[in-house]
Chains A and B, each alone.
Chain A
């Protein structure tokens, strides 16, 4: 019997490694292709010239001003999107949990809705809104952040909801209120520190999504990193692919970092000491 079990375990282990191997090949092959393409030199040689150019921001700015513009716009968009998303979602979700639990389903529905709306439909709907935004606030790629907040809502909502579920917000808020805290203090000193993990994952997801966004920016004729890369690809494919690869690796690193932040207790405890939940234990 034990021999059979050992054989079954071996089979499972082999299957596991084969699956992991195939997945790695599936994901790594295009990346390897990109790397190979960006290191091609003249006459079939290998050259790191493209990457040397890319890491020199001054040179990139001088040679590819559109890329610089798109990069800076995407960074600005990421920061602005995260800021608006947090300012909008954290207080709303906390308030709904504390005072209007009956509305939680509605808020969840609204936040998850963007998942079902194609980008083109969103753009069509937002066009008249952006006409007013441009009229009132002036022309800037940064206003795309308003549309991006809608795009990141489902992901950010899920992260923050998981965070809020892991703590007893109502009791913590009531305890701090009874000690003399106003609502602002409750949010800043009690709720946010205990949502740190959730806020970080919501932010990382939003950054990854914003840095990879192409459709809406392109349809609105705005230049973010992806649009700049696309346009650059028409004239200098190597640098465009190199930027694409760098963006992919960066996105991967962001998500990788997030898996540590939201991962096992051993790693999170360094960030936030978390409660173990209600238990009956002797004093």
Chain B
């Protein structure tokens, strides 16, 4: 294991703008990353998250705005002088070099002695658990191993900032989860300030100190994962992160009347009139009741928990999270009563265009 415990640096992306033709990839994007922090940028395709990371890496030039690392303006510094380690979405190991040579490459460019290079490469490969693969070429390794070597290569140069551009998206689910946890462990060990771009919300919520949800080139919300999930400030964030039921209701005195119960409202909610309340599946209780207001449509077993999909009289679907052992208690056709638990939720004006959607639950 490496002995490296380096303090991270501050990263500031200030009012970045970048357009491609008529598309605003970055539209006044601003982000502050504290020393040693891991921030994940999350968002749908085309929201600008990769552009933001590439601007920080120097692989894209912003049209305007400023980038500062450790208080130094690096907006016009070329990529090779930015001192950043990067792991790419595509496998990026140099095919003509072994894993060790790949890891040593950045150190060679920095004119480090061969002894030091070897020791450092061995340390880094050990850190990612691949000491025994040091003499293998990329084509002799699995995708997960290649990405680990790429991580070791990026860390070997002791970068000021570590950039991870969807490094797990080409891997299968099990390896992805495993490597995700390792990335977090290693990042905590080395303490490097890290920007992690992903479209996988589970990945972002699992590894990041803070998650930034992006939409149309700007940050919708930047918060700790639990805050982002429990207290979304916009409809987009509530919809994008986690599963959400869109339920019609009426606002009164800081509460909304939903499914016959009262739900306290989060800050930023609509304050009057008919609204749609965004309620999580775990925020609703379900009980078999012949006088209930919903009918079970289907149930699904998801391992640790289960989900029961029900339909209200108006056809709107409501998804409820239940312990996996109780999924079987609600076979299709069962009439059930749904009651909000009282977790705070976001309410948006019913005029919202997305309300035309009759399917109430969204992922």
Interface residues of A (CB under 8 A from B): 167-168, 171-172, 174-182, 185, 190, 193-194, 196, 272-276, 278-283
Q: Is the CB of B59 within 8 A of A282?
A: no
Q: Would A274 and B109 be within 8 Å (CB), given that A177-B59, A178-B86, A190-B94 are in contact? A: no
Q: How far is the CA of A273 from the CA of B137 in the complex (A)?
A: 7
**Set of chain B residues within 8 Å of A193, measured between Cβ atoms:** 96
The answer to whether A181 and B144 touch across the interface, beta carbons within 8 angstroms, is no
Inside 8 A of A273's CB, which chain B residues have their CB?
A: 95-96, 137-139
A245 CA / B138 CA spacing, docked (Å): 45
8 interchain residue pairs of minimum CB distance = A283-B144, A179-B106, A175-B92, A281-B142, A178-B86, A273-B137, A180-B109, A177-B79
B-side interface size class: 35 or more
Q: What is the bound-complex CA distance between A185 and B95, given in angstroms?
A: 16
> Out of B58, B142, B154, which one reaches A283, CB within 8 Å?
B142
Q: Is the CB of B92 within 8 A of A171?
A: yes
Q: A185-B109, A273-B137 known; A178 and B95 CB under 8 Å?
A: no
Contact present for B80 and A182 (CB under 8 Å): yes
Q: How far is the CA of A185 from the CA of B170 in the complex (A)?
A: 28
Closest to B143 in A: A281
Assess the B139–A275 pair: CB atoms within 8 A.
yes
CB distance from A190 to the nearest CB of B (A): 6
Closest residue to B109 on the A side, CB-wise?
A180
Interface residues in chain B, defined as those with a beta carbon under 8 Å from any beta carbon in chain A: 57-59, 78-86, 88, 90-92, 94-96, 105-106, 109-110, 137-139, 142-145, 148, 150, 153-154, 157, 163, 170-172, 174-175, 178-179
A194 to B94 CA separation, bound complex (whole angstroms): 8
| Chain B residues in 8 Å Cβ range of A196 | 96
Contacts of A280 in B (CB 8 A): 143, 170-172
Contacts of B170 in A (CB 8 A): 278, 280
**What CA separation (Å) do A274 and B109 show in the bound complex?**
24
A168 touches B92 (CB 8 A): yes
Across the interface, which residues of B come within 8 angstroms of A282, CB to CB? 142, 144, 172, 174-175
Complex contacts, B92 vs chain A, CB 8 Å: 168, 171-172, 174-175
Rounded to whole angstroms, the CA-CA distance of A178 and B105 in the bound complex is 11
Option from B82, B109, B145 in Cβ contact (under 8 Å) with A181: B109
How close is B267's CB to chain A, nearest CB, in angstroms? 40
Complex Cα distance, B138 from A134, in Å, reads: 51
A175's partner among B86, B142, B174 (CB-CB below 8 A) is: B86
- The complex places the Cα of A177 from the Cα of B139 at a distance, in Å, of 22
Which among B143, B145, B148 has the highest number of chain A CB atoms within 10 Å?
B143
Indicate if the CB atoms of A283 and B94 lie closer than 8 Å. Answer: no
> What residue in chain A is nearest B130 (Cβ atoms)?
A283
Q: Shortest CB–CB separation between residue B80 and chain A, in angstroms?
A: 5
**Pick from A175, A177, A180: contact of B94, CB under 8 Å:** A175
A203–chain B nearest beta-carbon distance, Å: 18
Complex Cα spacing A273 to B95, Å: 6
Q: How far is the CA of A180 from the CA of B81 in the complex (A)?
A: 6
Residue of chain A at shortest CB distance from B140: A273
Inside 8 A of B153's CB, which chain A residues have their CB?
175, 179
Complex CA–CA separation, A178 to B94 (angstroms): 13
